[in-house]
Structure formats: C-alpha cells, structure tokens
Amino acid sequence: MSKLRDEVLSANAAYAEGFGDKGKLALPPARRFAVLTCMDARIDPAKLAGLQEGDAHVIRNAGGRASDDAIRSLVISYKLLGTQEFFVIHHTHCGMQLFTEETLRELLKSSLETAVLDEGQWKDVGRGPGSAQGEFVDWLTIKDLAESVVVDVERIRTSPLVPKRIPIHGFIYHVETGRLVEVPRATEVGRAS
Ligand SMILES: [Zn+2]
C-alpha cells in the first residue's frame, strides 16, 4: 500500500476528530469572496489570507491563470453562491515562468516521465514514447509576472459573464516573505464600475 495514502488518511482522521460544528457550515462562502491562485505547494491560501472553513472560494490551477475553467468557477461563485469580490494572486518564483509552451510540448513528445531542470534547461531523461497531444493544450505559461496578473484581471473584467460591480484585485504573493504585494495596474483594470 502507499505510505502517502496512509499518512493522508491518518491526518484526516485527526482532522475529523476535531471537526466540531463545522459540519453545519452554509454552502455559500460566509465572507463572500473568491481567490484565484496558483497550485504551488508553497502557497497556503487559508493561512496567507486568514481563511477558515466556509469563508471563501479558492480556485487553483498552474499559475493561477484566468483560464476558461477558472472563469467558469468564478461565475458560479458569484452567480449562485453570492461572492462579491475577486482576488487574483500570482507569485514569485512561479514554475510557470520556467518553461515555454514549445518546451513543454517537446518534452511531452519525447516521454511522459518527469523531466529535470539542468542549469536552466529542461531535459527529458525518461524513456519514450511520449505524446504529441501537448500541441493541443494552451499551457498558459508566464513571461512577466506583473503583466500576467494584469492580463488575467483584465480577462475576468471583460468577460461578458462577470458583472462590472465586482471589484477584482490583483496581487503577487512573495514566496520568500509570505507577503502579498498589490499590482496597482491590475487592481485599476479590475476596478468595479
Ligand atoms: Zn506558481
């Protein structure tokens, strides 16, 4: 059996033990906001933003990008569950800055094993076959961090499914210090009207 599986189940047993009355939480987020951020393991949205269970929606993907699917979740978040503000949070040293669309496509074509980063260059060390299906995915890589926050806030702002009354705030989370730093240009673009 998997050691990780055992660890997860034992951590969960301890969590459920102290669950208390959290089983009575309402479905809509009590503090009425949604966060879109990266899946990076160093980011703990609950801790960095002071969230308890039931407080807010947290939507995560690689990069915290405003993909069609992230927007799908944000629309459900406000339309059916009443959130009133959105936060887009990208972060320093994001893995999405470390490769290009073409790099990942080539790596996937060569094999499906985990690649290694060697002196700034991704190398595939695994055995093939890989797959060319990576050609059909938009990987939403990041070239410029502040710019990606602006672009994503703008994409949500200009979605015909998102009402103008919802303010969208743009931030960069610093993995070195734990601080959130606002991207003023993004917040300006995301201003409610
Ligand atoms: Zn990231």
- Does 125 share its domain with 188? no
Ligand 1 mean position, distance from CA 90 (Å): 7
| Residue from 167, 158, 175 nearest 64 by CA | 175
Q: Do the Cβ atoms of 157 and 88 come closer than 8 Å?
A: no
- Residue 178: per-residue pLDDT: 98
Task: Please state the pTM of the whole predicted model.
Answer: 0.95
Q: How far is the CA of 1 from the centre of ligand 1 (A)?
A: 31
Binding site membership for Zn(2+): which residues?
38, 40, 91, 94
Provide the strand spans (E) within the chain. 33-38, 57-61, 85-91, 116-118, 121-123, 168-173, 180-182
How far, in Å, is the centroid of ligand 1 from the Cα of 118?
A: 19
Is residue 31 within 8 A of residue 53, CB to CB? The reply is no
In a domain, 92, yes or no: yes
Between the CA of 144 and the centroid of ligand 1 the distance, in Å, is: 13
CB 58 within 8 A of CB 35: yes
Asked whether residue 167 is domain-assigned, the answer is yes
Distance 97 CA to ligand 1 centre (A): 8
User: Do residues 83 and 173 both lie within one domain?
Assistant: yes
- Rounded to whole angstroms, how far apart are CA atoms 189 and 150? 7
The reply to whether 132 and 148 lie within a common domain is no
Examine residue 11 and state whether it is found in any structural domain, yes or no: no
How far is the centre of ligand 1, averaged over its atoms, from the C-alpha of 47 (Å)?
17
Q: What is the pLDDT of residue 11?
A: 98
Number of domains in the chain: 2
Per-residue pLDDT of the chain (193 residues; tens, 9 = 90+): 699 999 999 999 999 999 999 999 999 999 999 999 999 999 999 999 999 999 999 999 999 999 999 999 999 999 999 999 999 999 999 999 999 999 999 999 999 999 999 988 999 988 999 999 999 999 999 999 999 999 999 999 999 999 999 999 999 999 999 999 999 999 999 999 9
86 DSSP β-pair partners: 34, 168
Beta bridge partners of 33: 85
* Domain match, 104 and 191 both: no
Residue type present at position 6:
D
Task: Print the domain residue range for 84.
Answer: 27-97+141-193
State the binding site: 38, 40, 91, 94
Cα of 17 vs centre of ligand 1, distance in Å, is 32
Tell me what pLDDT residue 187 has. Answer: 94
Please give the pLDDT value at position 120: 86
Does residue 189 sit in helix, strand or coil?
helix
